[in-house]
Structure 1
Amino acid sequence: MYRRTVLGTLAVSFGVVLGGCARSSVDGTVASNETPLVFSHESATQATSAGVRIVIEVTIEHDGTEPITLEERVPRITCAFLNDSGETLYQSGRKLVDPIEVGDTTTMEFSLAVNVDDVTRYELRSKWADE
């Protein structure tokens, strides 16, 4: 009896984990970029104890000619999570917090843990923010 309970619990747990990871990623693009930053990005779907979340990992490279010191203008990067019809389900943004020299890279992460099943793609945008 004990053995069946353990095996049943393991089978259900394994099914939940696989069900939460059925879609391993969503597609994304850089929709607009007003800055000298270049973006590479990838997404992953992760199972958590509370359900599933989508994580967008962004690597940012400064491809301009002058360092970004953050004294005058600050880049703001946003990530919008969209559904099939292009409706924004959630959007978050972050400003660069450290200066970045020409040729240097930094990373950012955006995540979503609600309405995950409705997300079909994401869009990144970069613009100059007023300080």
Structure 2
Amino acid sequence: MNRRAALRALGTGLVASLAGCSGSRIDGSVTSNETPLALSHEYATQATYSGTRVFVDVTAENAGNDPITLEERVPNVTCTFLDDAGETLHEAGIELLEPLDAGESTTLEFPLTIDTEDVTRYELRCEWVEA
């Protein structure tokens, strides 16, 4: 492969990896948590043929001393994507489906596929809901 072809291939790959990615940083926080789950989170963007996707990956660890059995009540983690004015772009909730012993963790993923250029932050809430 000659030098020009190599540079073209490298440039095409770089442009494809950046295509559609949001130009600004997206901030995230846990705004409320009434459960013993410790929530750690991060976001990522992914360019696709149809546009950009924003993913918030949440690791929920049972930081309590007792298992979460899901018999009477279940932790529900909600992710709200917001624009610069604080308006909700999208909101989704996920209930834990499997019990968690003390110290165990599970991973949750919240995707945003619309209004990805407008999102500036996300907020996480975790609350108990009836099983």
TM normalised by structure 1 equals 0.85
- Assess if the C-alpha contact under 8 Å between 2:22 and 2:116 holds in 1: no
Aligned partners of 1:76, 1:88: CA distance in 2, in Å?
19
The aligned runs of 1:2-41 (5 Å cut-off) are 15=15, 17-23=17-23, 26-41=26-41
Question: What does residue range 76-87 of structure 1 map to in structure 2 within 5 Å?
Answer: 76-87=76-87
Residue 50 of structure 2 corresponds to residue 62 of structure 1: no
Q: Secondary structure at the match of 2:19?
A: helix
Farther-moved stretch of structure 1 (31-40 vs 15-24): 15-24
What does residue 125 of structure 2 align with? 125
Question: Any gaps of 5 or more consecutive residues in structure 1?
Answer: 1-7
Q: Distance in 2 between matches of 1:77 and 1:12?
A: 39
Is the 8 Å Cα contact of residues 25 and 120 (structure 2) preserved in structure 1?
A: no
Q: Give structure 1 regions of 4+ aligned residues with deviation exceeding 3 angstroms.
A: 10-17, 22-25
Larger helix proportion of the pair: 1
| CA deviation after TM superposition for structure 1 residue 123, in Å | 0.3
Return the alpha-carbon distance in structure 2 between the equivalents of residues 103 and 15 of structure 1: 42
Question: CA 1:24/1:46 → structure 2, altered by over 3 Å: closer, same or farther?
Answer: farther
5 Å matches for 1:40-119?
Answer: 40-119=40-119
Aligned residues with identical type, % of pairs: 52
Length, aligned pairs only:
125
For 1:113, the aligned partner's letter is: T
After superposition, the C-alpha distances for 1:64-92 in whole angstroms (9 at most, x for unaligned) are: 12100000110000000000111111000
Query: Could you tell me how far apart the structure 2 residues matched to 1:26 and 1:89 are?
Result: 13
Alpha-carbon contact 1:24-1:45 (below 8 Å) kept: no
Q: Secondary structure at the match of 2:64?
A: coil
Q: TM-score, normalised by structure 2?
A: 0.85
